[in-house]
Amino acid sequence: MRACLRSTSVEYTRELGRVMGASAKPGDVFLLCGGLGAGKTMLTQGILWGLGSEEFARSPTFVLVNEYHARLTVYHMDLYRLDSFDDLDGLGLDDYLFGDGLCVIEWADKAEGYFPTDHVDVSISAVSDTERIFSVSSSADERSQLIQAVVDFGRLHADEHR
């Protein structure tokens, strides 16, 4: 199942994240892919707020993992500085990936094939300085409710982006 949405503002991106966070379940893994400045951390901010947190998500580029406490514990990871696939072995990511929290992983494409198969893919393409295309998908039946919530959000706000 797949949802494609167009965002023209940081607020929309955060609201999309809020919908995803509200629908997240223990053990979910969200893989975020997109270039520098695409909106990965802004989406994560919304996810965090959708889980009931009032904290502000910070980019974990220099620390690898930021941990936030909300309805679910959120492990916000950034693989931007990963040099090779082999670098993952000593990081202990399995403790996060197969736990009861929510893993949100930026630059997940740097470790393609490493993650559980029942994850949620989020691809972000920058069309302009202010416009982004979000593709949210999962092949796992367990994630269909989350994808449907994203589809419904897109339909509800479609008039804002015409």
Q: Going residue by residue through the chain (162 aa), what tens digit of pLDDT does each one get?
A: 899 999 999 999 999 999 999 999 999 999 999 999 999 999 999 999 999 999 988 877 667 789 999 999 999 998 887 766 666 666 677 778 888 999 999 999 988 888 888 899 999 999 999 899 999 999 888 888 999 999 999 988 876 654
Residue 101: both structure tokens together = 């929290």
Whether the Cβ atoms of residue 125 and residue 57 lie closer than 8 Å to each other = no
User: Could you tell me the domains of the chain?
Assistant: 2-157 (3.40.50.300)
- DSSP lists the bridge partners of residue 104 as 30, 76
Q: What are phi and psi of 151, to 5 degrees?
A: -60, -50
- Give Cα separations from 125 to 22, 66, 75 (angstroms): 23, 24, 23
Query: What is the model's pTM?
Result: 0.92
